[in-house]
Structures are given as structure tokens and as C-alpha cells.
A and B are shown apart, each in its own frame.
Chain A
Amino acid sequence: MARELAGSGTVTTAPYVRTARRFVIVPVAFVAVFTVWPTLVTLRRGFDVTSVLTDPGLRATVWFTTWQALLSTIVALALGLPATWVLARHDFAARRIVRALTLVPFVLPTLVVGLAFRALLPGDLRTGALPLVVAHAFLNVAVVVRIVGTRWESQPFTYDEAAATLGAGPISRFATVTWPLLRGSITAAAGLVFMYCFSTYGAARVLAGPTRPVVETEIYRFAVLAGDMRAASALAVAQVVIVAVVLALTSRYLSWYRQLCWVSDSSSPSVTDRSIGAASGGCCRSLTRWSQFLWSRAGSHHRCARSPTTCAAPPQPSEHRRRAFSRASMSHFCVDRSAQQAPSLLSSPLVSSGHRVCCHAVETKPSR
């Protein structure tokens, strides 16, 4: 295959790349049979989305799932950020052990966590929104500590010190240096926590109670117990749409923020003017940049497999950081919480819920 590249003439593909491409058919077929087909079937059945909008029962389910997920995300951040600060910014003997311990809730089966909360809480608090939110926050503190902590640890103390020598007190330093550098990772963590809390099954099964069903438990009830595939599919589609929108918003913000930080050519004049300018004018630009970014990720392997002329210029340092960062946050999409037995989404052939359908859509996009 030959391709015309601007300014560099015609470049032919190396033979081994052509051979390798023939094997691409295997994963493509796998993905087609096990993910695209069930997705399409679900979508076709759930095409009657109006039932979610009109049926008060379904509407209540989606609404409850959304607000409990939002609330859980806020609580998880409120608990997780101080813990992250301690773990990322302080050195003490048991730091590694404590950090490992924060991951334990995330690794535990959600059903077990749900049962534990049920056993611990007093009678009238055993089911309902409150125990569910508390359990979700407990489960997802690990996500916050992991994602934000990695970023925070990599932020040198000298930025803080530089700000101090320039006259900034502790609060100003946090507002003008620490927070802007962490904001992207906090948003990314919030997006993931929302996704996990929205697609809850195990914990909700035990804690939400019969009066407060969430989307996934209702999907199970409709599809398996009641045999109402129409309602089940409609709920699945609603879940796909809501989670996809939230992930798109948070990752878009993330990418927009990253662009602002590291590859910006913006000429806004000062600290404050700049953030205001970016907030008002950055959104449209970010969409095109995000697509360019996805495209560059998608094409990176191909480009470097070709002749040296196309990859002569080494990637900019910012580009490296950008990729490494994005990979770190993307990799979390592979952690499948609702199906404890299947560790990776990509290796899971069973697509039974909208949650996983959605994750596929997100994960496969950049690594096309």
C-alpha cells in the first residue's frame, strides 16, 4: 500500500507490516462477533427509548441511578482527595502499605462490600440511598487515590517552592499551582467513579432495596425474571447514553486541559485572563483537537512502521507526557468491576450489559 504524504513523497509499507496486517482479521472478527453484534442487537431492541422517557417506573430508576452515582462521586472525591494528599505528599514508614490498603475495597467483590455494609449498619439504615452511596464511596476511593495520586506524586515540590519565593502563601500556592496541575486528573477520576457507580450491580442488589432499584438490577429483573426485553433494552440504551456523555465530557475536559497545559499556542496574556479565555473559547477548539489526538494515537504504530522519513522527528516531550498520561487513565477502562470474573473488558466475550458495551466503545476508539 502506498500513501501520498504531504511534503514527503510516496512512502511504501514495509513487507512485514503487510504480513502483520493480514492477521488483523482475527481480532477484528472477534470484536465483530462478540461485541458489535450483541451491541447492535441490544440497540435494535432498545430502539424504543421513549419508554424510558414516558414510563414513570423506568424514569425513576434512571433518575435514582444518576443522582446516587453523582452523589457517590462527590463523596468519593471528598474522602479520596485528602487521603491522596497524605499519600502523595508525605513520606512515612507505612506509606506503601497504606497505599496498598486503599486498593483493597476496589479489589473486593462489590457484593461482599454490600453485604459487609448491610451487616454493619443498624436495621433501618440497611437499605436505601444512604448505605448505597457510602458503599460506593468506600469502593471508589481507590480510583481517586490511584489516578490523582500518580499525578500528584509526579508534581515536583519545587513548583510549590518556586511559587513561595514569588510571594505566594499556602492557599495561593494551592489555587495557582497545585490545583491547576491536578484538575485534569481529578476530572478523569470523577468520570470513572461516576461510571462505576452508575453501572453498579452487586452493591445495589444488596443495599438499594426493592424500592430503590438501579439500572443494572432492573435490566436483570426485566430481562431474566420478567421477560420484558423491551424495557431491559431501553434501560441499557439509557445507561450507554448517560455514561458515554459523562465520560465524553470528562475526557474532553481532560484533553482540553492537557492541550492548555502542554501544547498550547494560545496567546492569552495572564494567569486569570488565560483561564477565563480558555473556558469561554476553548470548547470548540478542544473538540477538533481531541479528534486529532485520537487520530494521532490511532495512527502512531503505522507511522513508525513506515520509512524513517515519516518518523524522523522525535515526539515532543509534551507529546510523550500526553500519551503516557492518557494511557494511564485509559487503562482503567479495562478494569471491569461488575463482572468480577472477567479481569479485562477486551477479553470478555460476554456482553450482557450496557456498561460493558459502553466501555468497549470508549476503549476501542483510541487503540483502533
Chain B
Amino acid sequence: MTTSGLDVRFVSVAIDGRRILHGVSLTVAQGEIMAVLGPSGSGKSTLLRVIAGLVAPTSGTVAIDGADVTTVPTHRRGVGLVFQNNQLFPHLNVEGNIAYGLHIARMPSVQRRERVSELLTLVGLPGFGSRDVATLSGGEAARVALARSLATTPRIVLLDEPLSGLDHDLRYTLADDVRRVVRTAGSTAIVVTHDPDEARRIADRVVTLAELSSDTR
């Protein structure tokens, strides 16, 4: 079957003999935002890491836009991942972080700067380029991490508990912002979370990890 978007089939992962994912299958259409719900420790992060290529599945395949990428290394997959604790590079400022992927892709510096300011405006942090990442608040760091992942216009954006560690009110404001930003960027996205409200606010479609698993022994 050739489809645009993401197609994950019967992915199982076992680490040190412990089974973490049990034959997970899912399809996300081009431009769709999907949320995967599941309790802590259920393997949501592992699913994203398999899609990003950071973890090799024990069995099963991952296809993007109809092409099997199961054995393609992370840096050639074109999959963006927003990590749970943002993982902004401490030795670079906000602009350096957002421009990182563009720098790797050898975009000329004039265009790079334009793209960074465009992204900063998109995530609601215009003028933050020269800030040191250590001085950012939790919400600001989450926005910068989102902008960094979107900078290279990846085919798929994965968000791993993007709003964890933020206080309640900020979570919902930011959830709306995340939806707006991902929508504007036109990306296909998967967000994993344990919070159903957050999932509904961000995503077009909400599923639980248990529903996706075919083999729940």
C-alpha cells in the first residue's frame, strides 16, 4: 500500500528481554495530528523513538510516504522529535538551537536568520534569538524545542509529552499554541501524552496505545 504520511506496522520492541511494545500498528495521514494516550511506562516514548529511528524494533516496519525506513538511520529520516525535557543544546543560544538543523543542512546564513525569526514569531517568542537557553522558563523552552524541530520542515513531527513539567494553566494555553503552530507548519504529527484533555486539545484524532497493540500478551 502506498500512502502519504506515516505507516507503522506490527512494531514490537523488547529491551533486555522485557517486551515494551506489542505489535503496534498505526497510520497517520499527511497533515494529520494524532495523539497517542497511555499511562506512564506503557511504551509511548519507545514508540516515538522507533519512528525516529533511535530504537530499532525487534519486529515490524515503519514506512514514511510509502517508503520503508525501518533501517534508515535517524539523521536521514526527516523525522523531528521534541523531547520530553526539550534537550536544548546548552552551548548554543536560542537562535543557535533553532538554526542547528539548518546549519547542518548548510542553509546560507542570511536565509537561516530569516527562517529563525519566522519560527520565533510562529511560536510567540519574537526577539528571543540571543537569549541563553538556561535563562528560559519551562514554557519558553518548550516553544524553542518545538521551533527547533519544525525548522527543517520534517516530514513527521513527534512530540513526547511536550507539556510535561508545566503548570496547569500554561499547559492548556500552550496546548492550543502547539496545535496552531503544527497546523501552520502543515506537518504530520504524533503527540504522546498521558493527559486526555491535552490530547484532545492538540490532536485531530486520539487513540490509546492499547488500541494500537495487536498482541497484548
Contact = CB atoms under 8 A, between A and B. Distances in A.
B90 to A, nearest CB: 6
Interface stretch (A48-56, A96-104, A257-265): A257-265
Given A167-B104, A265-B132, A266-B130, A158 B109 contact: no
B41 to A, nearest CB: 18
B104 A166 contact: yes
Contacts of A74: none
A331 interface: no
A270 interface: yes
A158 B87 contact: yes
B130 A267 contact: yes
A76 B80 CA distance: 39
B101 A167 contact: yes
A271 B92 contact: yes
Q: What's the dominant secondary structure at chain A's contact region?
A: helix
Contacts of B90: 181, 261-262
Contact of B113 (A177, A270, A271, A274): A270
B99 A271 contact: yes
A12 interface: no
A168 B75 contact: yes
B89 A318 contact: no
Contacts of B5: none
Interface residues of A, number: 35
Given A164-B54, A317-B134, A270 B75 contact: no
Contacts of A211: none
A166 B100 contact: yes
A159 B89 CA distance: 7
B28 to A, nearest CB: 17
B10 interface: no
Contact of B83 (A158, A176, A263): A158
B200 interface: no
A180 interface: yes
Interface of B: 52-54, 73-76, 78-81, 83, 85, 87, 89-93, 95-96, 99-101, 103-105, 109, 112-113, 129-130, 132, 134, 148-149, 151-152, 154
Interface of A: 156, 158-159, 161-169, 172, 176-177, 180-181, 260-274, 316-318
